Structure 1
Amino acid sequence: MAYGQTLPTAARRQASDLRRRSNRLAVRLAAIWRRDASDDFGESYASCMPEMFRLLDSAQLQTAREAMTATPLAMASLDGVDRLPEYAVDPRQWVGVNGNGMNTIDVMWGAVVKGKRVVSSVGSTDIALHVIEMELVQRSRTLLADTQRSAAMVAGRSRYVHCGYVRGLTPPSCGRCVVLAGRPCGSEPFERHPNCDCIAIPTSKTPNTAVTSANEYLDGLSDGQLAKTLGSRANARAWRDGADLNQLVNAYRRSGSVSAAQLYGRNVKYTTEGMTKRGLASSRMISAGYAKDYVKKGGRYTKVDRPRLMPETIYDICARTGKDPRQMLYDYGWIL
């Protein structure tokens, strides 16, 4: 399913293939680690290496070859011009290295280093083994995504002197990716968060046909998928009630920006995003009376203890008081 994306067929197929390949690799690497795992992490890693890197090398080669094939098709679809490459590209050059040229053996060894840190911090061996397994999976996904982006970049530049990129989703995708899907991102492929498997699609001009409607993507999701994408069922309800997608997604932009606390004897969820670093209240919150715990200093309102409430808490308050949730969503800056 395209989930509202108007990206080229070749790009959507490539994204789907990459997701399936990444999932298969993750399952097999996790099984290999569980089979050979012991309290001697280094020895366990050495036992896994032959099979692990045979699978990883094969997946990288397939991904690079696929990017070499799909990229010119996607570019021709977006630009209307099918151009021959100015130089040959060997997909084998992406095997055994990550996006910045680091050897994949060293990249994956970093998972073992994290496991050792768990033990050194008085964590149990079982927890450390699980951490290593999760790290191996995440690092393999990142390696494949980096391989695709890098190979697509080279394939694109072999056909055009100047090349830009758009982000293509590989559904299911997180909210951070959804709000950026299909948008031009300059002359270098976009930055990614951990586990992001979006693909980079090169184009020689701004592709109007590649601008994705995030709302169309979200409209195609089930209630459960929508809640997972936006962070909670309350956030999904808020989006349906008119809340701005960027506001909902950016509430989780930094680790720990969404927190729980007690306010006047009630449990609330709040975010520090959408407020200034000095904790200034929005003029809406002040005029609506939600910011009476703010004091005015030097012509500006400074936060005392009243946070920006998350939709979950807003709906809870409205259910108990009979207030209009859409009005509160507006007053707290969720509806623009």
Structure 2
Amino acid sequence: MATPTELGRARYSQVTSTIRAIVERIQQIWRGLSAAGVEEDLLGDAGAGIVTAVAEGQLTVAAAAQAYIAAQMAAQGGSAFAEASLVAAAFAGIAPDGGPLETLLYLPAIGVRQRLAAGLTPDEAMLGGLADMARYASTAVADAARSADQVAMAANPSCVAYVRVVQLPACARCIVLSGQMYSRSEGFLRHPNCDCQTLPLREREWPGVPTPRQLVGRMSEREQRRVFTVAGARAIGDGADVGQVVNARRGMSTAHVFGRDVQATTEGTTRRGVYGRRLRRAGGEFARVPGQRYARATTPRLMPEEIFRIADDRAEELRLLRRYGYIV
């Protein structure tokens, strides 16, 4: 049987390989676009192709989450049994901030226009737009994987916590959080393009995950200077605490939506959506917002992170996850 560390590496490899394949597909589509027409193109077939590729990637990594958590619990001597089944489709088509994926993946077109206005050449503007698109797509898929993993943890009564696993190369903000243990329902701190992962735990025990100091020891002097700055690397080398050198939370968030306290999404809230179908059977109300094609539920659909934050206990978590269509 594979060890928890080996299972974690396999999960990391699955997510990162899915992201690489999506970025390659985006690059193929992007080659056929021009700076002059990129905004129109991303509203048309090219944009639809990119959105489809990213949504399919989100579905792929989410669909593997429950099997991964079950394998982890079994490897740690627990039960692979889950009290509910994860709905992988509930994690596809949603941006990390809870908004529509289409909106997020249109932003690179705006970036291209801004670069042109700043005096960059069309080729330079398009190269920057491609970098933006790759970053947004990668973040959306990685977030879907982590979110699905946490929901699968909630569905498995054996899982009580998770530990943050950092893979090099990594930024300073992530390095100082390596090996930190959290309650399985605690939000995962991340930044755009973050590829850190959660290692689910059956019991509150410290696994063989490298500490920040150990990660720094594996880095070359050049890499340390790049990540921590020259002065920061020197301070760490002189014995300074890594966490004191780096502001661990700067740039991190738990995916708040438009600065509001409640983390919600409009995805899946039409009558045919994952949440909408369930709400319709329960007699819920729908209304059409001016400018939108379909009527949407008048009751917001909470994101998994918000459910974990407000639920008083595990029974309440499962009830809300079912209500909002993440598990059945």
TM class by shorter-chain length?
Answer: 0.5 to 0.7
Q: 2:111 aligns with which of 104, 110, 114?
A: 114
Output the amino acid matched with 1:142: T
| Aligned counterpart for 1:70 among listed residues 68, 71, 75 | 68
How much has 1:112 moved relative to structure 2? 1.9
Structure 2 unmatched ranges of 5 or more = 252-328
Question: Is contact 2:80-2:156 (8 Å) kept?
Answer: yes
1:177 is aligned to: 174
| Secondary structure of the structure 2 residue equivalent to 1:114 | helix
Q: 1:230 to 1:74 in 2, by over 3 A?
A: farther
Give, as a single letter, the amino acid of the residue that structure 2 aligns with 1:20: S
Offset at residue 13 of structure 1 (A) = 2.1
Query: Shift of residue 235 of structure 1?
Result: 3.9
* Farther off after superposition, 59-68 or 146-155: 59-68
Name the counterpart of 1:56.
54
Larger deviation, residues 157-166 vs 63-72: 157-166
What's the CA shift for 1:14? 1.3
> 2: distance between equivalents of 1:208 and 1:162?
14
1:156 CA displacement:
0.8
Give 3-state SS (helix, strand or coil) of 1:208's partner. Answer: coil
Contact 2:73 2:158 in 1 (8 A): no
Distance 1:27 1:225 in 2: 27
Shift of 1:159: 1.0
Alignment CA distance shift 1:214-1:150 (3 Å): same
Give the whole-Å Cα distance in 2 for the aligned partners of 1:190 and 1:56.
21
Given that residues 36 and 47 in structure 1 are in contact (C-alpha distance below 8 angstroms), is that contact kept between their aligned partners in structure 2? no
* C-alpha contact (below 8 Å) 2:78/2:158 kept by paired residues: no
Which of 194, 197, 203 is equivalent to 1:196?
Answer: 194
Superposed, 1:19-34 pairs within 5 Å as: 19-34=16-31
Tell me if the contact between 1:227 and 1:235 (Cα under 8 Å) persists in the aligned partners.
yes
User: How is 1:85-96 mapped onto 2 (pairs within 5 angstroms)?
Assistant: 85-96=82-93
Superposed CA RMSD: 3.0
Q: Counterparts of 2:169 and 2:72 in 1: how far apart (Å)?
A: 21
State the TM-score, normalizing by the size of structure 1: 0.63
Q: Is the 8 A contact 2:176 2:242 kept in 1?
A: yes
Q: Look up the equivalent residue of 2:152 and give its one-letter code.
A: A
Give the whole-Å Cα distance in 2 for the aligned partners of 1:158 and 1:174: 32
Which shows bigger deviation, 102-111 or 175-184? 102-111
Relative to structure 1, is the Cα distance of residues 89 and 251 closer, same or farther in structure 2, using a 3 angstrom cutoff?
closer
Aligned position for 2:79: 82
Q: Percent identity?
A: 26
Aligned-partner SS, 1:134: helix
Does the CA-based 8 Å contact 1:10-1:74 persist in structure 2? yes
Deviation at 1:129, TM superposition (A): 2.6
Deviations 1:276-331 (CA, angstroms, capped at 9, x unpaired): xxxxxxxxxxxxxxxxxxxxxxxxxxxxxxxxxxxxxxxxxxxxxxxxxxxxxxxx
1:247 equivalent to 2:253? Answer no
Alpha-carbon spacing, 1:181–1:44, altered in 2? closer, same or farther (3 Å): same
- 1:178-327 to 2 correspondence within 5 Å? 178-186=175-183, 187-203=185-201, 205-209=203-207, 212-232=210-230, 235-250=232-247, 253=250
Does the aligned pair in 2 maintain the 1:178–1:214 contact within 8 Å?
A: yes
Give distance in 1, aligned partners of 2:200 and 2:94: 22
2: CA distance, partners of 1:96 / 1:221: 37
Paired residue secondary structure (1:36) = coil
Report deviation, 1:151: 0.6
**2:242 partner letter:** L
**1:32–1:52 Cα contact (<8 Å) kept:** yes
Determine whether 1:104 maps to 2:101: yes
| SS state at 2:164 partner | strand
